[in-house]
């Protein structure tokens, strides 16, 4: 039997300290926590930075490191620093060193790095070792080379290699959400289907139970199935909450692809053990012929400036779309005439907040609100050009009339200057898998001993 303690769906989201203590008292074999995902967008991977505040990350990680020392078991974080790029792993390592010094204990750290050299990935693409997944963007080797960061998602094999070093703390770069939980049960010959299925149920912490904000759950794996137990007061798992979690952020709720195979839960049976715990059996692991890891890449696609104005005059609110379309036409022409930019070099859009901002042309309802927020969204190759377009847009957002006949209007601005610069923006460029002859060949493992 292997008991995995999961403090939270992600480091930075906080956890219930009392429930964590309850988990430590129950003598877990490992503590595993996720550090990120792609869910907050491409900027974090593009820049190689964390989404969460360093202050929160340090406080929560220090609590987990202390709990780890008390339990005398490994502590593993997957997808360190939100994106799992090497720079984010280094950030996490830096925080870990700081805490280790403050806690005054010797510490053995294993660092698993997932960053890939874009040039090597481009060569693998040219050599036919990279395969697109469903709805993958069209890529070329040039697009791959233009990525600022590419990571490969480690699976259970790479986490097992890190655990084999005997490290106290494992800081892993990009991993699948499940790998950090499934690795130890797999190493100790627990049921493979149960290892992956339990890992999927547990990867968001207590989201598979009531009181999801409490975070902390424990999962026991054995040779036939797994049992999930939320540990906070007022948190209960039921067959419904556990099985429903397979729907969450999953395009297919029955099949989950992982490095080395896939999980099939079509025959899984969920049973209540008591009012709090749920037992699951019948999940199946199907190994694949070739070992593949998924790739994530983000590339810079220009610099963004945004400008916001507010329409409150009923005449302009009622005709906002006509007004916005006219501005985009006229300002777009001015950008092409006055700046050395072709139509395809920049984007200029006015999004009407309160009218159609959520769905654009897919919107099916019409209503005239009291006021409409207008956000001008500009992207251009350089920050200076995006800023310049913002300045060309500014007079329109301040004074553009619906017709020549009407008195010059003036619209509300929130700030001076009105242009807000977002800097470099990124887009996800890869939804592909990389074929590997050896699972470790795309990853680097380093062991650091802190005396």
Partner 1 sequence: MPELRSLVSKVRSKNAGPFWLTIDIFCGSAEAYARVRDDLSTTRVAEVFATDGQAIKRFDIEQLHVVKFSLPRPAVQGSVADRDMHGASWAALLGEVEI
Site residues, partner 1 (CB under 8 A): 38-43, 133-137, 240, 243-244, 247-254, 301-302, 347, 351, 357-365, 377, 379, 425-428, 431
Q: For residue 313, how many other CB atoms are within 10 A of its CB?
A: 14
End-to-end CA distance of the chain: 32
Closest CA to 78 of 195, 217, 172, 154: 172
Q: Which is nearer to partner 1, 396 or 426 (CB)?
A: 426
Q: d(Cα 266, Cα 284) in Å, to the nearest integer?
A: 8
* CA atoms in the 13 A half-sphere facing the CB of 91: 23
> Whole-number minimum distance, CB 421 to partner 1, in Å?
16
**Would you say how long the chain is, in residues?**
451
Can you tell me the distance from the alpha carbon of 71 to that of 91, in angstroms, rounded to the nearest whole number?
A: 25
Structural contact between residues 286 and 314, judged by C-beta atoms closer than 8 angstroms? no
| Nearer CB in complex with partner 1: 8/176 | 176
Q: Least distance from C-beta 253 to partner 1, angstroms? A: 6
227 with 278: CB under 8 angstroms?
yes
Sign of the CA dihedral running 295, 298, 299, 301: positive
Is residue 437 within 8 A of residue 133, CB to CB? The reply is no
**CB closer to partner 1, 411 vs 428:** 428
Residue with smaller CB distance to partner 1, 133 or 286: 133
**113 closest CA partner among 450, 446, 433:** 446
For the bound state, the minimum distance from the C-beta of residue 104 to partner 1, rounded and expressed in Å, comes to: 41
Nearer to partner 1, 288 or 358 (CB): 358
Shortest distance, position 390 Cβ to partner 1, whole Å: 16
Closer to partner 1 by Cβ: residue 4 or 246: 246
Give the integer Cα–Cα distance in Å for 284 and 271.
17
Q: How far is the CB of 385 from partner 1 (least distance, A)?
A: 15
Nearest-approach distance from CB 134 to partner 1, in angstroms: 8
């Amino acid at each position: 039997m292997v008991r995995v303690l999961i403090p939270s769906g992600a480091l930075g989201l906080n956890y219930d300290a009392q429930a964590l203590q309850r988990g430590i008292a129950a003598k877990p074999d490992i503590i595993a926590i996720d550090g990120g995902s792609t869910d907050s967008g491409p900027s974090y991977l593009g820049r190689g930075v964390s989404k969460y505040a360093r202050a929160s990350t340090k406080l929560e990680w220090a609590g987990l490191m202390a709990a780890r020392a008390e339990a005398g078991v490994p502590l593993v974080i997957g997808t360190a620093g939100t994106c799992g790029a090497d720079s984010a792993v280094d950030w996490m390592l830096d925080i870990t060193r700081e805490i280790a010094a403050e806690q005054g204990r010797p510490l053995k750290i294993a660092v698993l790095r997932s960053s890939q050299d874009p040039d090597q990935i481009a060569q693998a693409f040219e050599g036919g070792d990279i395969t697109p997944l469903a709805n993958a963007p069209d890529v070329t080797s040039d697009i791959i080379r233009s990525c600022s960061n590419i990571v490969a998602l480690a699976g259970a094999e790479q986490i097992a290699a890190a655990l084999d070093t005997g490290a106290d703390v494992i800081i892993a770069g990009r991993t699948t959400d499940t790998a950090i939980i499934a690795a130890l049960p797999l190493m100790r010959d627990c049921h493979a289907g149960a290892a992956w299925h339990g890992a999927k149920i547990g990867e968001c912490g207590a989201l598979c139970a009531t009181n999801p904000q409490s975070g902390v759950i424990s999962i026991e794996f054995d040779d036939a199935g797994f049992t999930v137990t939320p540990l906070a007061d007022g948190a209960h798992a039921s067959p419904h909450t556990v099985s429903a979690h397979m729907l969450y952020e999953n395009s297919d709720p029955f099949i989950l692809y992982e490095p080395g195979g896939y999980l099939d839960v079509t025959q899984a049976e969920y049973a209540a053990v008591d009012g709090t715990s749920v037992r699951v059996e019948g999940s199946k692991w199907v190994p694949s012929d070739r070992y593949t890891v998924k790739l994530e890449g983000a590339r810079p696609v220009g610099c963004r400036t945004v400008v916001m104005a507010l329409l409150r005059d009923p005449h302009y609110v009622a005709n906002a779309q006509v007004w916005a379309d006219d501005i985009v036409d006229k300002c777009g022409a001015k950008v092409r005439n006055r700046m050395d930019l072709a139509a395809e070099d920049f984007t200029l859009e006015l999004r009407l907040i309160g009218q159609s901002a959520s769905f654009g042309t897919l919107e099916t309802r019409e209503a005239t609100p009291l006021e409409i927020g207008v956000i001008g969204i500009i992207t251009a190759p350089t920050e200076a050009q995006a800023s310049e377009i913002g300045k060309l847009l500014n007079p329109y957002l301040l004074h553009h009339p619906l017709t020549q006949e009407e008195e010059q209007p003036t619209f509300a601005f929130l700030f001076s200057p009105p242009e807000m610069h977002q800097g470099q923006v990124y887009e996800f460029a890869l939804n592909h898998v990389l074929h590997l002859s050896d699972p470790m060949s795309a990853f680097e493992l380093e062991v650091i001993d802190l005396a």
